[in-house]
């Protein structure tokens, strides 16, 4: 899925990032794009301190319907768990990130990391 020299971030990668940023309660704000061009109001706590620029692409339901565009960013990890995978959920109304599980039938954004 990722280009040569890159890989999709794992659940462990995400945990290390959110721990570095101060934990799940504040990390979302530090990674979200600032402003209301893409995010719905109020885009709580958005400072994008590290240039990550998380965008609210929503997700794709198993029916093929897209939802929560502008409201949430769902970013899948490459770490599978049973019939699904772990992902991170950013919302417009909080600076938190939630760690959740989703079945593989749901479509989400991914973030790639450069191989070291």
pLDDT tens profile 28-80:
999 999 999 999 999 999 999 999 999 999 999 999 999 999 999 999 999 99
pLDDT attached to residue 115:
86
**pLDDT at residue 116, rounded to an integer:** 81
What does pTM read for this prediction? Answer: 0.93
What's the mean pLDDT when you consider all of the chain?
97
User: Residues 10-14: what's their mean pLDDT?
Assistant: 98
Please say if the pLDDT value at position 1 is more than 90: no
Q: Where are the alpha helices (DSSP H) in the chain?
A: 11-20, 24-31
Pairing of strands 72-81, 109-110: parallel
Strand partners, 80: 85
Cα separation, 95 vs 46, in Å, equals: 7
- Helix, strand, or coil (residue 50): coil
């Amino acid at each position: 899925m990722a280009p040569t020299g890159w890989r999709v971030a794992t659940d462990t990668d995400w945990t290390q990032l959110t721990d570095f940023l101060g934990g799940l309660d504040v990390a979302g704000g530090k990674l979200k794009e600032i402003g209301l061009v893409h995010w719905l109001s109020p885009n709580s706590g958005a400072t994008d301190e590290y240039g990550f620029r998380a965008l609210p692409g929503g997700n794709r339901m198993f029916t093929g319907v897209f939802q929560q565009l502008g409201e949430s960013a769902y970013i899948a990890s490459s770490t599978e768990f049973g019939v699904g995978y772990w992902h991170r959920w950013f919302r417009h109304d909080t600076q938190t990130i939630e760690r959740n599980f989703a079945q593989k039938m749901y479509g989400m954004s991914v973030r790639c990391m450069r191989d070291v």
